[in-house]
Structure 1
Amino acid sequence: MAQVLEFKLPDLGEGLTEAEIVRWLVQVGDVVAIDQPVVEVETAKAMVEVPCPYGGVVTARFGEEGTELPVGAPLLTVAVGPSAPGGEGEGSGNVLVGYGTSDAPARRRRVRSAPVGPVTADGPTGARRPDRPVVSTGAGHARVTAARTEGPVPVISPLVRRLAREGGVDLRHLAGSGPEGLILRADVEEALRAGTAHPAGAPVAAVAQAPAVRISPDRDGIRTPLKGVRGAVADKLSRSRREIPDATCWVDADATELMRARAAMNAAGAPKISLLALLARICTAALARHPELNSYVDTDAREVVQLDHVHLGFAAQTERGLVVPVVRDAHARDAESLTAEFARLTEAARTGTLTPGELTGGTFTLNNYGVFGVDGSTPIINHPEAAMLGVGRIVPKPWVHEGELAVRQVVQLSLTFDHRVCDGGTAGGFLRYVADCVEQPAVLLRTL
């Protein structure tokens, strides 16, 4: 006889106590293997896939997409034992995301024609919505279609699913314009503009019979929940402003020689070196000379803690909000290694697959806001760090070079620092050294 085991939301580490269900990866009735990812959740740190420690048949799911669950809350139940094809009597013991013990999960297959179980993410067990005709809102508008009766809604990415959820668009009533009905971001945005948004579970007929519900900035405004990554960023920035007495200094630097040096490196046929990697190498050299800025304040002990390693964070803007991936032991990496790690972390940030460990533990942050086409900024320090170096866009400007007016590649550098860990002289010395390395990259040879 099969035994039904309950799988609860595991401890995700990093002090996280809750997570939001973004996307279910299995349906009721699916056969799952041990350590197969069953649900994609978003925490305050990252978006991660949660593996199930049991192998067997999924008998129930708990929580709809968009629901926030505390650690320890039931996620799903699995029937394991002789009567569960592919099932096994014992789980893997896996309790942390990202730690698997089996080979690649087997392909999921259906074993029932209808869902079984007390609760599913798509509504009551076995519930089916009646077929409805397609309702067109007119040329140039999103199309609303009959509610899908079973299976997952085909959406191009979790980000589109989140956009729909926050805008009140029921994806089950939306016809996608992508291949095989795939719902794209443009489909959801068009639905919002056309006013076809309506709460999940609302009857399709209401779209044709009642005035469309429009999202419009009225007296109450448009409300966007501060949760997930955006909520975590909001909390951290607010805490930084409350606790850190920050100050900012800045300087213009001639980056012409740095750009020429990079061009020479990349002309040699070896792996390309990014500008961000060269700036990071300059940062670590400057922190070696001014270690006071590679520290944090222990407010309880009233002590400044100076660190002997540099875990370099860099600000990355994504569709899910601002994140700060961390390059571990940046001080021990050369420009080629830094380039590769920046590329890896940037891609993970773009796809929402950064792990909590890759988003925490930074000791200093590099903020290249020049990618937004701006010259300067006074950023908020990434709490609990002590400083952040900002880099503006590099643009041709009139500059006095060797006693003559010339057009040079100029960049504005800024340093925002915690005034508790050092005074202006230290901060100015750090920034001046960074500027000297940008203007004369040969200065770095002293620290190689």
Structure 2
Amino acid sequence: MSSSPQVAASERSTAVLSALAFFFVLTSYYIVRPVRDQLSGAVGSSQLPLFYGATFVAMLLLTPVFGAMVARFPRKRLLGWSYCFFIACLIAFVPAFLAQARIGARLLGVVFFVWVSVFNLFVVSLFWSFMADIFDSVQARSTFPLIALGGMAGAVFGPMVTSVLVGLLGVAPLLVVSAAMLGGALLVLLRLSSHDAAGRAKQAEEAIGGSLWAGVRELWSRPFLRYMAILMVLGDGIGTLAYALVADYAKAHFHTAASRTAFYAHMDLAVNMLGALLQISLTRWLLTRWGAAWGLVLPALVNVALLVMVVFAGHGAVTLFGFTVPLLAMVMVVTRGYAYGMTKPAVDALYTRVPRETRYKGKNFVETAVWRFGDLVVTSGVSALGKLGMGVAGMALIGAGISGVATWVAQRAGHSPDLLPEGRPAPPARPAASRAS
């Protein structure tokens, strides 16, 4: 049955507002991200296991907290409280960054690294859970790439703002700019929170309910979540390997917080320009014509090709847009560009085909605790292999094998037997009296 003109207009309006909200969200995040990364660049890869270990512990502790909030509060209140909390935190961090030289990059790095990961849980990941709640699976395949493109515009704009302002204002005032952008996102999301893409308001004020540990439990009981967890560890490991080695490069070549922040902002700009190009030229066509599974498989194949290239070229350098950068930095740019420009919209389109509780709790557990566990394993492995004398080529060869496995897992995830059929809405949550507490 074709949509009525009123429903179609409502869908277009919701998609435009969603893209605008995601623009503000990622502008805020990509102003904060180079500020975080300059701290890892100040200490080098040797301290990254500490950063990621602390983050992993924090994610495990916060999983039941997030689960309890999702279970008890309707999405409008959850969005409002979460975003307001992080706006306040951004302002509170300003004095700490003004005193970075006295506090030390290691201590401030651990605290801020953990906080940015919590930011990802309650801001970025919650945004996509919300999107999976207001669009069905058919709408998602055509709409999510457009929403992600709005985010990519913010992801390009954020590093540009950082590159321009860090030299004029310094690092600390950037947090105030980030807070302002997050406030803009909150205003748009509150406007969206009362209606879905078809103008329905029924679920807007319903709490999801269920167990606060549902995200952990469903990881073992739901095949789709298991595939996504394995894919998160395997796929993100390649980017984390490049990130660790680029951190050593930044430590050796950039000696001030402002210069490191600018370097990482330029890296983020290259990543997000590639992601935006993919959104415009390939991703939406691939997802609508061939399905979301191919949006997972193709990036894994690209990773295999990149790492085979590193096996033969090692520490070589390449020239991109007139800038000479390490080959590993190029690997990080391409890997993350595909992750944000193709894998992410494909993953979020698949999450429209699972129950609401899985979208919020299971999805967020995979994208935070499991993600940071993978980071911890990879950075610890890089450190151990380096101490054993293994060079970049050897690590790249291992990474290529891992990416080959990730290709198979991606194909399985896109055709998991527990995914709902295309276009069928997720079943409603059980009545509160029958839910596990």
Coarse TM-score class (shorter-chain normalised): under 0.3
Question: Normalising by the residue count of structure 2, what TM-score does the alignment of the two structures yield?
Answer: 0.21
Higher helix share: 2
Which of structures 1 and 2 has the bigger CA Rg? 1
Q: Which structure has the higher relative contact order (CA within 8 Å, separation 6+)?
A: 2
| TM-score using structure 1 length | 0.20
